[in-house]
Amino acid sequence: MMATSNSNGKKVTPALRISQLDALELNKALEQLVWSQFTRCFHGFKPGLLARFEPEVKAFLWLFLWRFTIYSKNATVGQAILNIQYKNDLSQKQNYQTLSKQQKLWYLICTVGGRWLEERCYDLFSNRPLESFQKTKYFINLTVGLLKLCELLNFLIFLRKGKFANLTERILGIRSVFCQLQSVRQIGFEYMNRELLWHGFAEFLIFLLPLINIHKLKLKLSSWSLAVAGCSSYTSDCGLL
């Protein structure tokens, strides 16, 4: 993996595939957490209060997140956790270049605006005549299908080359890189070894327990306990005598 130098003279390396995918999953988890916490604020209000304006409210929340992540830090929350940030891959310079304002604004339009349009597209054309609405619906479904196909092709290319985890990054020319030079990762197998030993022991017990006669074992234990109790009572009686 090639390393390049940023404007401060420090080396940066392209982010690993697994790190980029983990960042996307962290972003999705954060958005779900923010939305769930926000909706809890309206539990005491009339049911369905947010349903009418849900796309707009979500767009406002994602706009707020974009302002304090991509716009100010060139990285999403998930990327910041994993020490990743976006790099302007369209720049011809070899050193690190932050995203331009145009790239940040287009990122906002493609993500926040795209989600809002996806949720509101049918409502925007529902007032049209039925025949016109059916044609518009067909065109929308065709467009969504083509976008999903492009996302699939982009993901396959990403798995091959390790660049541009989603279609928005490829269109805007923004690439994920590590903020600092990454050292060689030391992988420990202590936890895995313990898990393997425990699972092996559990499987051995599962195989062994059916072979044990529980009823006969109970009888032996009860007879042994009665014998011990009889000996103890006998010794106590002898002591009293």
Confidence of residue 235 (pLDDT cuts 50, 70, 90): low
Domain boundary among 178, 202, 223: 178
- Whether 9 maps to a domain, the answer reads yes
226 and 141 part of one domain: no
Residues 162-179: pLDDT tens digits?
999 999 999 999 999 998
Identify whether residues 173 and 207 lie together within a single domain. no
Q: Structural domain of residue 208, as residue ranges?
A: 190-232
**Pair 16, 110 in one domain:** yes
pTM, 2 dp = 0.69
What pLDDT, on a 0 to 100 scale, did the predictor assign at position 70?
94
Residues 140 and 225 in one domain: no
Query: Which stretches of 71-126 are assigned E, i.e. beta strand?
Result: 84-88
pLDDT tens for each residue of 9-64: 456 688 999 999 999 999 999 999 999 999 888 887 777 778 888 899 999 999 99
219 and 110 both lie in a single domain = no
3-state helix, strand, coil in the chain (%, to 5): 65, 5, 30
- What's residue 237's pLDDT? 55
Overall number of domains in the chain = 2
Residue 187 in this model has a pLDDT that exceeds 70: no
Check whether 109 has a pLDDT greater than 90. yes
